[in-house]
């Protein structure tokens, strides 16, 4: 079975900036972030780091099982570990193989590098090297793949990150504006709403200027309130 | 022969009582049911018992257990009072013509009737009755649906069918028990020599199906440290003839001061055997050890199995000892023993004529004197047990299920 | 390697099949799946349309054609024989899954592994919508607590509907096969056999309805239904003996009510009354309770 592992430090791998879809953008459609919604209470913000704690070996076992069945044949599950100890990764890989009940786990190591926006962690790179040379029974490593942020693909990343930041900023402001009008909205829904609106605007060739987020959010809130009133009057 | 795991063939085992029963036949039933379930059959075990407790031996999850007897607590009070009166009637041992028949109907007819109803509604492909009470009930059950009927017997036929002390002593039952066999499509018996007992008309239907013997890993048998111990394992009952072993020991213990004799088992003759040991002054060398949960390590420490029984239905004890690398000594005319153990190959046959205790002592002494002989017999014994490997026995069960055996087949087996 | 086989019996209703296939295409679960359709001897026209529907679908579909109409239980056994993926799910032509059904149920399976449970002794069922012709959708909850065998016999809290299920192929083997005598209710017998063989049903943490059942009693024979109930009660009598006669009467009375409903929906009002009367005879308390309930609902 094939899997991919992305190692990195927190300054680069930050879930609020790089989400599941972002990885697909960066590494290609083939790689799909491995989600574990079934592991109740483990939906933490640090990607797959829950698998690295040695407290719950059955969690890793179940993850191996889920990995085996949850992906189409042409997709590779992608695990993202932030600031991970190599020894933890090694024991995790061993357990995953057991859980997936496969003969060999073919692991592609992925890494991200950047000289400008984010400092590349030389330590992580060294750690990845160490992992490749570590011999783990039943685990084979394929040549590591590194994507540098200066590359073409990386532009997409920066763009994505910027876009994410933008969405986050406007949605926070939208919620503030709505609250001033006596209405609350969950952060999730606000984010989704803004994402949709921005996408439609981009399609129409429109853009919200960076310093106009506040005004935009306020106008949007006002429009939403009006819509709501009309809706209620109509019954 | 084994089918893919589609559970297309539906088997129904029938036994009178199973709850908490730790007997040999019950064990064979559950082990067989488990093995056949693992081979992809759909398996149900039907019982007819007051107790709703689970069986003693572990049953594979997936096998359905059906107790077809209505529970007492769900019955009206009047019925329960009548039930108690009927139980008293069933204890009657004076069998008068007519009344004996009535007693039989009161005691057994409901099992037969409920079993017929159950089989007609479940429609299994093969129904296998274990032990005479279930065999009689199944044979006389008025079934509209026609499954293959198989009777599985687990004792010397004379004991099951001719001994008035065994099963229901009511002569009506004994007659029915014998006559019912012709209604079966197949009959399983433990040893080739038992085939001769059956009516010649039945012999084509008979399949010899020994019990399976557990396989012990070679390493633990080869590395174990054996002590100078002769063991005997079995119920303390008349048929096992432990008194012969104790007598024999009194003849040879002076020549073998380092040896001791350990007898494992419980039973009605415990006090009598103890008294015999005391009388012969063998307290220090012959021990009644009672029951043990760890018979494995007993076998792994022992050098010789002494098995002076009069006869055996099969003799699980013997295959158990052999698989643990313990050679066996027993009487040449003991059924089961003489089938499993070949003289001077995997054990010693003691002459049954003349002074039996003396004969037994001579054979024991000879083997106790020759550790090399012990090892030679043990090696051959372990090979012999391979013939009773669970997989092979399950193959035989599949023959029983599909009826793929016949006259030629059992002739071959008898030779 | 196919992970999931989706098993669909089909007879003379290609547009219904198209609806079901579309709901499979829309699943968010991304693992590899195959659909097996056994056509139970549809008429030539319908069979051609069915082939067309299958050609147009983007799914990986295997069509097996029976030369004659064999009925549901035999068709379902054929499906069982054709399946070889490690996981199986069922759907009837005409019913639909909502898009996160399979993912929610797989998540439940992964959670079982996480808890250390044996996936081969569990079936994942789910809440569902129940839609009568011409009426609104009504959500029905599957309650997996308590004695599941009892609940299945009564059928008020836990219902035996195959299309709610996801499980390993081994778990389905536990229930053996569909009883070919049961032209109706073969699912109920299958569920009861599963639970009697040590199986257990569980529900996913997603409590939304995950599929929709379009129900119609039209043209279904009430006497046939009641007869199938009888076959099931007799077959599993050993389980009923455990629960005692009071419970058995209740289960039989409930079966009479179901038969009565079928009769009523097919405008056989006399027969419907007869079943109700029979229900009253079996378990007067339960019959009165049902009467009170229906009066309360108007």
My answer on whether C86 and C153 are in the same domain is yes
Pick the residue from chain A with its C-alpha nearest to C29.
Answer: A70
Pair A102, A30: CB distance under 8 Å:
no
Mean pLDDT for B372-391 is 90
Domain contains B263: yes
Say if residue C267's pLDDT is above 60: yes
Alpha-carbon distance values, C147 to B295, C144, C195, C200, C215 (Å)? 39, 8, 10, 10, 27
Mean pLDDT for B164-173 is 87
My answer on whether C159 and C143 are in the same domain is yes
My answer on whether C115 and C73 are in the same domain is yes
In B, which residues are within 8 Å of C81 by CB distance? 6
My answer on whether B284 and B361 are in the same domain is yes
My answer on whether C128 and C48 are in the same domain is yes
Mean pLDDT for B297-311 is 92
Position B221 confidence tier, pLDDT thresholds 50, 70, 90: confident
List strand residue ranges (DSSP E) for chain C, in order.
4-10, 33-39, 61-65, 87-90, 96-97, 122-124, 128-132, 137-140, 166-168, 200-202, 211-215
Name which of A156-160, B326-330, B406-410 the model is least confident about: B406-410
My answer on whether B375 and B397 are in the same domain is no
Please give the structure tokens belonging to residue B60: 């594979």
More confident residue, A161 or C2: C2
Position B1 confidence tier, pLDDT thresholds 50, 70, 90: very low
Q: Check residue C298 and give its pLDDT.
A: 63
Q: Check residue A157 and give its pLDDT.
A: 60
My answer on whether C137 and C228 are in the same domain is no
Its ipTM equals 0.91
Contacts of C266 (CB under 8 A, 6+ apart): C217, C218, C219, C220, C221, C222
Mean pLDDT for B345-365 is 91
Position B411 confidence tier, pLDDT thresholds 50, 70, 90: low
My answer on whether B377 and B395 are in the same domain is no
DSSP letter assigned to residue A58 = H
Domain contains B3: no
Mean pLDDT for B107-113 is 93
- H helices of B184-343, where? 218-223, 242-252, 270-279, 295-301, 316-323, 337-340
Contacts of A106 (CB under 8 A, 6+ apart): A1, A2, A3, A140, A141, A142
My answer on whether C163 and C121 are in the same domain is yes
Domain count along chain B? 2
Say if residue C209's pLDDT is above 90: yes
Mean pLDDT for B16-31 is 84
In A, which residues are within 8 Å of C115 by CB distance? 58
My answer on whether C202 and C229 are in the same domain is no
Q: Check residue B124 and give its pLDDT.
A: 95
My answer on whether B241 and B208 are in the same domain is no
Distance between CA atoms of residues C277 and C284, nearest Å: 9
More confident residue, B129 or A8: B129
Residue at which a domain ends, from C148, C180, C215? C215
My answer on whether B86 and B132 are in the same domain is yes
% chain A with pLDDT above 70? 81
Say if residue B167's pLDDT is above 50: yes
Please give the residue range of the domain that contains residue C242: 222-296
Q: Check residue A158 and give its pLDDT.
A: 62
For the domain that residue B360 is a member of, what is the CATH number? 3.40.50.2000
CA A39 to chain centre: 17
Tens of pLDDT, residue by residue over A16-63, are 667 777 787 778 888 899 988 888 665 555 788 888 887 778 899 999
Position B3 confidence tier, pLDDT thresholds 50, 70, 90: very low
Position A148 confidence tier, pLDDT thresholds 50, 70, 90: low
Residue at which a domain ends, from C200, C215, C230? C215
Alpha-carbon distance values, B409 to B150, B404, C209 (Å)? 17, 9, 60
Domain contains B127: yes
For the domain that residue C149 is a member of, what is the CATH number? 3.90.550.10
> Which strands, in side-by-side order, build the sheet including B126-130?
B64-67, B42-47, B10-14, B126-130, B148-152, B186-189, B206-208
Mean pLDDT score across all residues of chain B: 89
More confident residue, B6 or C224: C224
Pick from B248-262, C3-17, C264-278 the range whose average pLDDT is largest.
C3-17
In C, which residues are within 8 Å of A72 by CB distance? 30-32
Determine how β-strand C166-168 pairs with β-strand C87-90: antiparallel
Q: Is chain B adjacent to chain A, meaning 3+ CB pairs within 8 angstroms?
A: no
Interface test with C, best of A1, A56, A61, A66 (most C CBs within 10 A): A66
Strand partners, A3: A107
My answer on whether B35 and B142 are in the same domain is yes
Distance separating the N- and C-terminal Cα atoms of chain B: 24
Residue of C30, C86, C113 lying closest to A62 (CB–CB)? C113
My answer on whether B204 and B72 are in the same domain is yes
Q: Check residue B295 and give its pLDDT.
A: 86
CB atoms inside a 10 Å sphere around CB A152: 6
Say if residue A152's pLDDT is above 70: no
> Which strands, in side-by-side order, build the sheet including B328-331?
B286-290, B260-264, B229-233, B304-307, B328-331, B347-350
My answer on whether C65 and C187 are in the same domain is yes
pTM for this predicted structure: 0.84
My answer on whether B333 and B233 are in the same domain is yes
Domain count along chain C? 2
* Inter-chain residue contact C197 with B117, CB threshold 8 Å: no
Domain contains B106: yes
Domain contains B2: no
Please check whether residue A100 touches C, CB under 8 A: no
Please give the structure tokens belonging to residue C33: 């799946």
Please check whether residue B61 touches C, CB under 8 A: yes
* Inter-chain residue contact C30 with A75, CB threshold 8 Å: yes
Tens of pLDDT, residue by residue over A191-218, are 888 888 888 888 888 888 878 888 999 9
Domain contains B112: yes
Domain contains B4: no
Say if residue B356's pLDDT is above 70: yes
My answer on whether B292 and B356 are in the same domain is yes
Name which of B135-139, C121-125, C288-292 the model is least confident about: C288-292
In A, which residues are within 8 Å of C27 by CB distance? none
Please give the structure tokens belonging to residue C53: 């529907």
Please give the residue range of the domain that contains residue B79: 10-212+390-414
Distance between CA atoms of residues C216 and C209, nearest Å: 19
Name which of A133-147, C123-137, C228-242 the model is least confident about: A133-147
Distance between CA atoms of residues B359 and B348, nearest Å: 11
Please check whether residue B6 touches C, CB under 8 A: yes
My answer on whether C87 and C182 are in the same domain is yes
Residue at which a domain ends, from C215, C237, C259? C215
Say if residue B54's pLDDT is above 70: yes
Helix (H, G, I), strand (E, B) or coil at A40: coil
Sign (positive/negative) of CA torsion C99, C101, C104, C106?
Answer: negative
Domain contains B93: yes
Q: In chain C, count H helices and then E strands.
A: 12, 11
Q: Check residue B407 and give its pLDDT.
A: 54
Say if residue A235's pLDDT is above 80: no
Q: Check residue B56 and give its pLDDT.
A: 83
Say if residue B316's pLDDT is above 60: yes
My answer on whether C184 and C49 are in the same domain is yes
My answer on whether C32 and C151 are in the same domain is yes
More confident residue, A60 or B21: A60
Please give the structure tokens belonging to residue A98: 């057991």
My answer on whether B33 and B54 are in the same domain is yes
% chain C with pLDDT above 90? 84
Interface of C with A (CB under 8 A): 1, 3-4, 29-32, 86-87, 106-108, 110-111, 113-116, 205
My answer on whether C175 and C242 are in the same domain is no
Distance between CA atoms of residues B1 and B21, nearest Å: 32
Contacts of C116 (CB under 8 A, 6+ apart): A58
Say if residue B207's pLDDT is above 50: yes
Position B394 confidence tier, pLDDT thresholds 50, 70, 90: very high
My answer on whether B226 and B307 are in the same domain is yes
Residue of A59, A71, A75 lying closest to C114 (CB–CB)? A59
Residue of C181, C198, C245 lying closest to B62 (CB–CB)? C198
DSSP letter assigned to residue A2 = E
Position A120 confidence tier, pLDDT thresholds 50, 70, 90: very low
Mean pLDDT for C262-282 is 90
Q: Comparing C-alpha atoms, which of C128, C205, C212, C120 is closest to residue C167? A: C120
Pair C6, C26: CB distance under 8 Å:
no
């Amino acid at each position: 079975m094939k899997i991919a592992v992305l190692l990195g430090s927190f300054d680069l791998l930050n879930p609020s900036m790089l989400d599941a879809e972002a990885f697909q953008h960066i590494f290609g459609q083939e790689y799909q972030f491995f989600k574990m919604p079934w592991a109740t209470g483990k939906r933490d913000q640090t990607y797959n780091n829950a698998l690295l704690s040695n407290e719950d070996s059955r969690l890793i076992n179940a993850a191996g099982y889920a990995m085996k069945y949850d992906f189409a044949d042409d997709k590779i599950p992608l695990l993202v570990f932030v600031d991970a100890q190599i020894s933890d990764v090694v024991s995790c890989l061993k357990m995953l193989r057991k859980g997936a009940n496969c003969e060999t786990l073919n692991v592609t190591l992925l890494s991200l590098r950047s000289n400008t926006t984010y400092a590349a962690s030389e330590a992580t790179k060294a750690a990845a090297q160490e992992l490749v040379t570590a011999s783990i029974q039943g685990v084979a490593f394929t040549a590591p793949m590194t994507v540098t942020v200066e590359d073409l693909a990386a532009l997409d990343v920066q763009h994505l990150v910027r876009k994410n930041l933008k969405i986050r900023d406007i949605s926070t402001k939208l919620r503030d504006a709505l609250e001033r009008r006596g209405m609350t909205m969950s952060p999730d829904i606000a984010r989704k709403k803004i994402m949709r609106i921005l996408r439609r605007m981009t399609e129409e060739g429109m853009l919200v200027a960076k310093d106009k987020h506040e005004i935009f959010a306020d106008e949007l809130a006002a429009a939403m309130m009006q819509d709501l009133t009309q809706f209620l009057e109509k019954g | 022969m084994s089918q893919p795991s589609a559970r297309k063939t539906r088997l129904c085992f029938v036994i009178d009582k199973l709850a908490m029963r730790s007997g040999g036949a019950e064990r064979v039933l559950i082990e067989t049911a488990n093995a056949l379930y693992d081979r992809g059959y759909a398996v149900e075990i039907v019982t007819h018992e007051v107790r709703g407790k689970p069986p003693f031996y572990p049953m594979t999850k997936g096998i359905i257990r059906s107790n077809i007897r209505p529970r007492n607590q769900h019955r009206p009070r009047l019925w329960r009072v009548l039930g108690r009166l009927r139980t008293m009637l069933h204890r009657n041992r004076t069998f008068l013509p007519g009344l004996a028949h009535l007693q039989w109907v009161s005691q057994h007819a409901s099992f037969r009737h409920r079993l017929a109803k159950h089989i007609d509604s479940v429609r299994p492909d093969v129904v296998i009755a274990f032990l005479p009470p279930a065999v009689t009930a199944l044979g006389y059950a008025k079934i509209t649906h026609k499954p293959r009927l198989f009777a599985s017997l687990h004792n010397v036929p004379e004991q099951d069918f001719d001994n008035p002390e065994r099963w229901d002593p009511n002569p009506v039952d004994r007659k029915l028990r014998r006559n019912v066999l012709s209604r079966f499509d197949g009959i399983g018996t433990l040893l080739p020599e038992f085939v001769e007992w059956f009516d010649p008309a039945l012999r084509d239907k008979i399949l010899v199906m020994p019990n399976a013997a557990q396989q012990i890993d070679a390493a633990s048998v080869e590395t174990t440290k054996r002590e100078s111990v002769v063991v005997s394992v079995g119920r303390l009952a008349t048929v096992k003839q432990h008194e012969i072993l104790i007598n024999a020991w009194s003849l040879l213990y002076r020549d073998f001061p380092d040896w001791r004799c350990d007898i494992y088992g419980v039973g009605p003759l415990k006090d009598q055997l103890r008294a015999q040991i005391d009388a012969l002054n063998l307290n220090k060398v012959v021990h009644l050890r009672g029951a043990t949960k760890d018979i494995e390590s007993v076998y792994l420490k022992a050098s010789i199995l002494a098995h002076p029984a009069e006869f055996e239905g099969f003799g699980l004890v013997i295959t158990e000892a052999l698989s643990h690398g313990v050679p066996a000594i027993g009487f040449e005319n003991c059924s089961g023993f003489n089938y499993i153990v070949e003289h001077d190959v995997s054990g010693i046959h003691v002459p049954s004529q003349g002074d039996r205790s003396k004969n037994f002592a001579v054979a024991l002494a000879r083997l106790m004197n020759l550790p090399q002989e012990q090892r030679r017999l043990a090696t051959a014994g372990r090979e012999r047990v391979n013939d009773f490997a669970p997989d092979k026995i399950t193959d035989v069960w599949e023959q029983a299920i599909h009826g793929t055996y016949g006259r030629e087949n059992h002739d071959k087996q008898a030779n | 390697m196919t992970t999931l086989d989706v098993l669909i019996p089909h007879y003379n209703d290609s547009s219904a099949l198209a609806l079901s296939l579309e709901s499979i295409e829309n699943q968010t679960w991304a693992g590899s799946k195959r659909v097996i359709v056994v056509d139970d001897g549809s008429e030539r026209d319908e069979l051609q349309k069915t082939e067309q529907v299958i050609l147009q679908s983007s799914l990986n579909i295997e069509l097996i054609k029976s030369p004659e109409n064999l009925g549901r239980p035999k068709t379902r056994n054929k499906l069982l024989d054709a399946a070889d993926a490690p996981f199986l799910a069922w759907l009837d032509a005409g019913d639909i899954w909502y898009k996160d059904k399979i993912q929610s149920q797989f998540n439940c399976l992964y959670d079982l592994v996480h808890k250390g449970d044996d996936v081969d002794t569990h079936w994942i069922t789910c809440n569902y919508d129940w839609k009568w012709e011409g009426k609104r959708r009504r959500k029905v909850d599957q309650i997996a607590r308590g004695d599941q065998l009892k609940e299945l016999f009564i059928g008020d809290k836990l219902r035996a509907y195959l299309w709610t299920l996801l499980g390993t192929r081994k778990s389905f083997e536990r229930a053996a096969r569909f009883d070919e005598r049961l032209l109706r209710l073969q699912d109920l017998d299958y569920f009861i056999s599963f639970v009697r063989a040590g199986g257990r049903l569980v529900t996913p943490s997603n409590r939304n309805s995950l599929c929709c059942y379009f129900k119609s009693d039209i043209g279904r024979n009430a006497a046939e239904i009641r007869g199938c109930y009888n076959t099931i009660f007799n077959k599993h009598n050993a389980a009923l003996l455990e629960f005692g006669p009071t419970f058995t009467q209740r289960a039989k009375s409930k079966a009479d009510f179901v038969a009565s409903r079928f009769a009523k929906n097919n405008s056989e009002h006399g027969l419907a009354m007869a079943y109700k009367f029979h229900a009253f005879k079996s378990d007067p308390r339960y019959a009165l309770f049902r009467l009170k309930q229906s009066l309360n609902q108007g």
